[in-house]
Amino acid sequence: MYIPENHPRRESLLIREKIVEGFKRGIVVPEGLIAHGRGECFDYLIGEKTQYFAEEATRAAAAALLLAKHPVISVNGNTAALVPEHVVRLAEEIGGYIEVNLFYRTREREEAIASWLKKHGAKEVLGVGDDASATIPELFSERRRVSPRGILIADVVLVPLEDGDRTEALRKIGKTVIAIDLNPLSRTARAANITIVDNIVRAMPNLVEKVRELKRKTKEELKEIVEGYDNNKILAEALRFIKNRLDELARSKLTLF
């Protein structure tokens, strides 16, 4: 798909192409295309840039991942299509596991996602086939199936682009959940301990960068960052930012040129 260099929406269209390519490869489900469109809408509202509320959440997420004894990155179709290399890099930096966990689970997709991640450097990918033999209690979607070496025993789980049910179920069994979700109103965003309200294509590279930077800190300093973080405050900041931005835009003259 050719997108002219000077197209004003080039970045956004290129990201769309990645999702479409993922769909053609059997990684993304049709519902994933719809979810992406919802994300694009919220990205518009935050100005398609990483805002201060996402930066603060990213800092807390990096500290929580560095403090974790058994961190796991949960990967679905959209995440694998958009940021496979950053998933691999983050797992390396935190010494964590990568686990495929799908809402629309099929064996073919599990394998397609795992081999796509391996193509991008992953040494091991959990949650494929018989490896997803454990279950999360009180969860009835296919997301309940997890790896006994991964999410089941994880203390911190990163869940980009989730559905709300599983975040709540993971919280109930004592996990610290970090979400990446452009919608500050989603159940996932509200149920997580730390929510990065940003596009995953910006949030994941930022998170890798922050983890590298915070590695120099002591455990006590990292704990201070996590304990001083307030997710309700961050979600409120995101909503206030959107409201103020829309107010400003409504006051300014909307012109094409």
Is beta strand 194-196 parallel, antiparallel or unpaired with respect to 134-135? unpaired
Q: Is 104 in the site for ligand PTJ (CB under 6 A)?
A: yes
Residue with tokens 């403090």: 67
Q: Please tell me whether residue 96 binds ligand PTJ under the rule CB under 6 A.
A: no
Residue 84 interacts with ligand PTJ (CB under 6 A): yes or no: no
- 32 lies in the site for ligand PTJ, by CB under 6 A: yes
Nearest to 9 by CA among 34, 51, 42, 40: 40
- DSSP assignment of 71-85 equals EEEEE-HHHHHH-HH
Block residue for tokens 């991640």: 117
Which residue lies nearer to ligand PTJ by CB, 38 or 240? 38
C-alpha distances (whole Å) from 245 to each of 62, 70, 198, 253 are 28, 39, 16, 14
CA–CA gap between residue 70 and residue 86 (Å, rounded): 19
Query: Would you give the binding string for ligand PTJ spanning residues 169-208, x where CB under 6 A is met?
Result: -----------xxxx--x------------xx--------
Does position 150 bind ligand PTJ by CB under 6 A?
no
Contact status: 225 vs ligand PTJ (CB under 6 A): no
Smallest distance, Å, CB 254 to ligand PTJ? 25
Of 67 and 112, the one with the shorter C-beta distance to ligand PTJ is: 112
List residues near ligand PTJ by CB under 6 A: 29, 31-32, 35-36, 38-39, 42, 76-78, 102-104, 161-163, 180-183, 186, 199-200
